[in-house]
Amino acid sequence: MKRNTTIALFYTGVAAVSVGIISLAMWLRPGLDTPYQAPVIDTGKETPPQWFEIAKDLSAVNQDNQPVKLSDLRGKVWIAAEFFAICPHCAVRNGEELRKLYDEFGKHPDFHITCISVDPENDKQEKLADYAKALSADTKNWWFLNAGDAKATHQYLEKELKFFGIRERTDPLDIEANGKYAHDLGFILVDRDFKVIGKWPLADARSEEGKKLDPNLYQKLKDELFGRIRAELEKNESPGI
């Protein structure tokens, strides 16, 4: 079976996502001298051989109904994550992880978190504001974004940021339990030069599937992500910070 076909089959469900990512993470770990960087895979295509500069911009509206662009974040070190307001996995898994990052780095003027809704048709400004309030997110350094058309947003997330493919669920029971979309829960890290420099699947590592594969992997990935953010923030840091 071809590798691309295998990847596509892995991502037919959330559990399979976890197994696929964590298994590959464990396979890559031995002998690595640099921080772990989970592969960014565009479903149906080969994995990019190296990290990359973001080629196209994205315009959106944040939780305060302010028009913004991702290019506004040039010069900052920032986390990109997918979410939608009623996704139980976003709230339970990623919300906690993002809050930990915010508590650690939120006071640094060059750090930012950006959460992009995969369900812009339903995640209007009011829902974004409520979500941000629940996580005590300040608009100045933590955005919750609605980029408009769902199809265009999904294409951007998959083609430009290289998140895994987003799948719309059709089974009513599946939707009730897991929300409308199956999507990537990994965190992408972008440097000051608008380049994607790594991806960390913390939510998958702390899932039951991930713990069975390697109970220590979550802590390893978390430490590496925090260390990489810290190192990037120290680059070109303004005097006195």
Helix ranges restricted to H, the chain: 3-10, 14-28, 88-89, 95-105, 125-134, 150-155, 172-178, 202-205, 208-213, 217-234
Question: Measured between alpha carbons, how far is 162 from 14 in angstroms, rounded to an integer?
Answer: 18
Question: Measured between alpha carbons, how far is 56 from 71 in angstroms, rounded to an integer?
Answer: 9
Which residue, chain included where needed, has tokens 């265009």?
A: 152
Q: Which two tokens stand for residue 8?
A: 């596509």
Segment 127-134 shows an average pLDDT of 92
Identify the sign of the CA torsion 114, 115, 118, 121. Answer: negative
- Under the banding of pLDDT at 50, 70 and 90, the label for residue 174 is confident
- Under the banding of pLDDT at 50, 70 and 90, the label for residue 182 is confident
Q: From the centroid of its chain, how far is CA 239?
A: 30
CA nearest to 116, candidates 56, 68, 51: 68
Asked if residue 75 lies in contact with residue 110, where contact means CB atoms within 8 angstroms, the answer is yes
Angle at 220 between CA 231 and CA 210, to 5 degrees: 135
CA nearest to 89, candidates 19, 185, 193: 185
Question: Measured between alpha carbons, how far is 27 from 76 in angstroms, rounded to an integer?
Answer: 32
| Identity of the amino acid at 208 | E
Q: What percent of the chain has pLDDT over 70?
A: 76
- Under the banding of pLDDT at 50, 70 and 90, the label for residue 238 is low
Structural domains of the chain, ranges and CATH numbers in brackets: 3-234 (3.40.30.10)
**Coil, strand or helix at 42:** coil
Question: Measured between alpha carbons, how far is 163 from 11 in angstroms, rounded to an integer?
Answer: 12
| Identity of the amino acid at 193 | D
pTM, two decimal places: 0.77
Q: Which two tokens stand for residue 53?
A: 């500069």
Which residue, chain included where needed, has tokens 């069975």?
A: 212
**pLDDT tens profile 68-123:** 999 999 999 999 999 888 777 677 678 889 999 999 999 999 999 999 999 999 89
- Under the banding of pLDDT at 50, 70 and 90, the label for residue 190 is very high
Asked if residue 88 lies in contact with residue 195, where contact means CB atoms within 8 angstroms, the answer is no
Question: Measured between alpha carbons, how far is 200 from 188 in angstroms, rounded to an integer?
Answer: 7
Q: What CA–CA distances, in Å, run from 86 to 91, 163, 175? A: 8, 20, 10
Q: Which two tokens stand for residue 146?
A: 């609605």
